[in-house]
């Protein structure tokens, strides 16, 4: 991740995602925009993001989406691999936005969180 351009896993319909993108642009950063609903990250890419952010897989799941319960993702028996695959298969469940920069990653909720990695 260290040699990659700054990226934002972005949903243009999400206000927090739009605010985070605007914040990056205000800082003079033109990130690579990944519209993750159109181009979902793989389970391995998600695992790398989670590791880089230093959080758990469950920390990046949108638990209020109907698919969360419909898919049984609230089952504490599910391992990280199963959760990561579910997120890749159902990207709407990924909490957004996520920004990567110089080998670091942060959740843009609130958008100011990304300032810590710039």
Catalogue the active-site residues: 14
Q: What is the DSSP string of the chain?
A: -TTSPPEEEE-TT-HHHHHHHHHHHHTT--PEEEETTTSPPPHHHHHHHHHHHT--GGGGB-TTSHHHHHTTTT-TT--HHHHHHHHHH-GGGB-S-EEEETTEEEE-SSGGGGGGG-
For 20, phi and psi rounded to 5 degrees?
Answer: -65, -45
């Amino acid at each position: 991740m260290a040699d990659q351009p700054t990226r934002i896993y972005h949903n243009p319909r999400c206000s927090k995602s739009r605010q985070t993108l605007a914040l990056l642009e205000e800082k003079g950063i033109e990130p690579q925009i990944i519209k993750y609903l159109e181009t979902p990250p793989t389970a391995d890419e998600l695992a790398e993001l989670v590791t880089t952010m230093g959080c758990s897989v469950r920390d990046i799941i949108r638990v209020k989406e109907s698919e969360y319960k419909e898919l049984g993702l609230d089952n504490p028996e599910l391992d990280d691999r199963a959760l990561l695959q579910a997120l890749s298969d159902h990207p709407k469940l990924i909490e957004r936005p996520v920004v990567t920069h110089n080998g670091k990653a942060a959740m843009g909720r609130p958008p100011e969180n990304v300032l810590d990695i710039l």
